[in-house]
Chains A and B, each alone.
Chain A
């Protein structure tokens, strides 16, 4: 269970509170106007943005003292998810051992993960030789290898076209299912939330509201969401 216990984020006039929890294995979307703090909340959970107050707990353990790399999570950023000077196989290998001294068995797992996301045989390529969709797949393959219990997506597919994005979201759902990961995903598109999440957190007016069932939320949006959706 991921628990945000009276979490407060503050920075230069920006303020956000969150006090709720999601069950292990849940798939949750974070939606709301830009600047509301969706990415900041994800950053705080990932350990890049220390909260001004409150605690973030995973299975009862306070994540506060842990460095980003030591937290039980994988995060995919909006961009820069791969190192451009390393090959795909190396980029994936970092998910297993950050010093890249991989055993033959670990190399095999890298190959298998590439295969799993449809990038078989591309391990020697560098990110510059790949399309946007392929880069997204590679980042997801690394998440698969890391197999951390939390998967955070900060709109890594925002630059992709609708059909490609739908493919990627389906792959995200599969990866989350295979690793049993709890998914938290920032989006500005209700269709993304409806496609793969069962619960949605509305982030607006300084509050990250408790997760509500996605379908019901969009069927009868509260005023803040209605304003965001332009209805």
Chain B
């Protein structure tokens, strides 16, 4: 088992390092054209703005969730976890249905005789990034609020603090501790968000590095240029991701957000403000989803023919990623728990420093001299998706594996429980819950992936997200919305089945 963990750890490191090495080798240095500089500037600028907006807007929402009790509060917190599982392309389709040319907002503006708004360009990228990351930021900040001991709030009350004084002495120090991690996490996520830029960005004023990589590979056939851009992306994104991983102490999508805190909520205008924050946030998160459902439902009975094989490919890719990711995460977590080898923690987190497009470019460079890359589109997608999900799966499993080791390793040893029997009778039953949750998460992430597949796939390898992107690129928006509905239903369905299996096995 220990040698297994070392082998898997080494494999994870190599699978990241070798493609990066190929990128660095092919790039042959950092020489950027003016267009490349513009892409770098836009990438950083939109990430800064997305992060500031997401975190800034998350503060009042988190505060309202922390200090108010109302029916549906639990459901709202659950909703805050959903965008992590939501395929990005579906979120974008929802925003297009709402803010797009023929969308509800523009229709309303036109009816009032006002000029329309455009969802494309910087503002569209920002709206999408806030939609995707506001919930994550809210959950991270909410955890900060709930981590303030109830005794402190009681003390504040007994000293008759005004809300302003409570903020200064209790809430501001907490925010100072929590906000950097939240902001860094959102910043890092927005640096590598390819699908949003692919659909809502583009052109000289709104091209990100990842979009430029994609264009260099797919349209310019200039692999050296792609490699150069990928190298810049690694340097920028890798540093940000590792900083965020270190700064963010909790993952933000875990359970257990309902610890009771003895907060006496302030009344007056603050009550109204909290209500407004919650209503606006819920509306902003729900409206695009409702728009996808409304627009997609009528088209479901007659989806274009290419949707079904694409769905089958997506499910196959997702399930293969689940097997790879969960096996690797389990072996690494058990090895780390048993031997306390810290480098395994790092090996499991390493993929965070890259992105699908960067790894994809590296693998493209490695494969392309020998085979037409399209032939390997699906295996490469499985591999990259599995790698990108590994840090999350590992983070779920590692603490449970440590507890398992601490509580039952001696008993298992003394009974001679080892090998397959130990896996079957001890490890799988005890770790069923995080294994199920991790598998569900991996499946949903992989189902929704629109990154490396866009680099590699030809006509006959497209997954469902890629088909949706092509449909929307051809302005077949109703069909794209219907396919999006199918994608989100299957993604969440897979998550639900796998998570539930884990819970049942654990019960």
Pair A83/B426 contact, Cβ less than 8 Å: yes
B430 & A85 in contact (Cβ 8 Å cutoff): yes
Which B residues lie within 8 Å of A214 (CB)? none
Which residue in chain B gives the minimum CB-CB distance to A74? Answer: B414
Residues in B neighbouring A153, C-beta threshold 8 A: none
Which of B407, B417, B430 lies in contact with A94, CB distance below 8 A?
B417
Which of B410, B413, B429 lies in contact with A85, CB distance below 8 A?
B429
Q: With the chains together, A196 CA to B22 CA distance in Å?
A: 72
Task: List residues 417-449 of chain B with CB under 8 A from any CB of chain A.
Answer: 417-418, 420-422, 424-426, 429-430
Instruction: Determine the distance from Cα of A120 to Cα of B424 in the docked complex, in whole angstroms.
Output: 27
Complex interface: chain A residues within 8 A of B75 (CB): none
Q: Is the interface of B mostly helix, strand, loop or mixed?
A: helix
Does A112 touch B at the CB level, under 8 Å? no
A76 to chain B, nearest CB (A): 9
Question: Which of A46, A75, A80 meets B408, CB within 8 Å?
Answer: A80
Q: Which residue of A lies closest to B410 (CB)?
A: A48
Indicate if the CB atoms of A94 and B410 lie closer than 8 Å. Answer: no
Which residues of A from 90 to 140 have beta carbons under 8 Å from B?
A: 90, 94-95, 98-100
A111 to chain B, nearest CB (A): 19
Given A80-B408, A85-B429, A86-B425, answer yes or no on A98-B414 (Cβ-Cβ < 8 Å): no
Query: How many inter-chain residue pairs (CB < 8 Å) link A and B?
Result: 53
The answer to whether residues A98 and B408 also contact, given A83-B426, A85-B430 and a CB cut-off of 8 A, is no
A69 to B416, CA, bound (A): 4
B114 on interface, CB distance cutoff 8 Å: no
Given contacts A94-B425, A99-B421, A100-B425, contact A80 B415 (CB under 8 A): no
Give every chain B residue within 8 A of A74 (Cβ-Cβ): 414
Given A83-B408, A83-B426, check contact A75 B417 (CB 8 Å): no
Most buried by A among B408, B415, B421: B415
Chain A interface size band reads 20 to 34
Whether the pair A98, B418 counts as a contact (CB closer than 8 A) is yes
Contacts of B424 in A (CB 8 A): 99
Does A231 interact with chain B (Cβ within 8 Å)?
no
CA separation between A47 and B410, bound complex, in Å? 10
Provide the bound-state CA to CA distance between A83 and B409, in Å.
11
A69 touches which one: B407, B414, B425, B430 (CB < 8 A)?
B414
Most B Cβ at <10 Å: residue of A80, A81, A98: A98
Beta-carbon nearest neighbor of B428 in chain A? A85
- Secondary structure dominating the interface of A: loop
- Residues on the B chain within 8 Å of A68, using CB: 410, 413-414, 416
In the complex formed, the residue of A with least CB distance to B424 is A99
Query: How far, in angstroms, from A68 to B408 measured CA to CA in the complex?
Result: 14
| A67 on the B face (CB < 8 A) | yes
Is B415 a contact partner of A48 (Cβ separation < 8 A)? no
A40 to chain B, nearest CB (A): 13
Q: Is B411 an interface residue (CB 8 A)?
A: yes
Q: Are A98 and B416 in contact (CB under 8 A)?
A: yes
Complex-state Cα separation, A94 to B411, whole angstroms: 11
Residues of A within 8 A of B410 (CB): 48, 68, 77, 80
Q: Is the CB of B413 within 8 A of A48?
A: yes
CA distance A151 to B79 in the complex (A): 55
Question: Are A70 and B416 closer than 8 Å at their CB atoms?
Answer: yes
- Shortest Cβ gap from A203 to chain B (Å): 20
Q: Which residues of A contact B426 (CB under 8 A)?
A: 83
Output the nearest chain B residue to A142 by Cβ-Cβ distance. B415
Please report the C-alpha to C-alpha distance between residue A53 and residue B422 in the assembled complex, in whole angstroms: 31
Chain A residues contacting B408 (CB-CB under 8 Å) are 80, 83
Q: How far is the CB of A230 from chain B (nearest CB, A)?
A: 32
Residue in chain A with minimal CB distance to B505:
A85
Among B417, B429, B430, B506, the residue within 8 A (CB) of A98 is: B417
Question: B115 → chain A, closest Cβ, in Å?
Answer: 63
In chain A, residues 6-33, which have Cβ atoms closer than 8 Å to a Cβ of chain B? Answer: none
The answer to whether A94 touches B413, judged by C-beta atoms less than 8 angstroms apart, is: no
- Report chain A residues within 8 Å CB of B407: 80
A69→B429 contact, CB < 8 A? no
In the assembled complex, the Cα of A196 lies from the Cα of B415 at a distance in Å of 26
CB A181 to nearest CB in B, in angstroms, measures: 15
- Which residues of A, 177-212, contact B by the 8 Å Cβ criterion? none
B406 nearest CB across to chain A (Å): 9
Set of chain B residues within 8 Å of A69, measured between Cβ atoms:
413-418
**Beta-carbon contact of A100 and B413 below 8 Å:** no
Chain A: which residue is nearest B429 at the CB level? A85
A residues near B417, Cβ cutoff 8 Å:
69, 94, 98
In the bound complex, CA of A136 to CA of B416 (Å): 20
* CB atoms of B430 and A81 under 8 A apart: no
Contact between chains at B414 and A80 (CB < 8 Å): no
Bound CA–CA A94/B413 (angstroms): 12
> What are 15 residue pairs bridging A and B, where the CB atoms are less than 8 Å apart in the complex?
A68-B410, A68-B414, A69-B413, A69-B418, A70-B416, A77-B411, A80-B407, A80-B408, A80-B410, A90-B425, A98-B417, A98-B425, A99-B421, A99-B424, A100-B425
Question: Top 6 A-B pairs ranked by shortest CB distance?
Answer: A69-B416, A99-B421, A68-B413, A98-B417, A85-B429, A98-B416
Binding site for A on B (CB under 8 A): 407-408, 410-411, 413-418, 420-422, 424-426, 429-430, 506
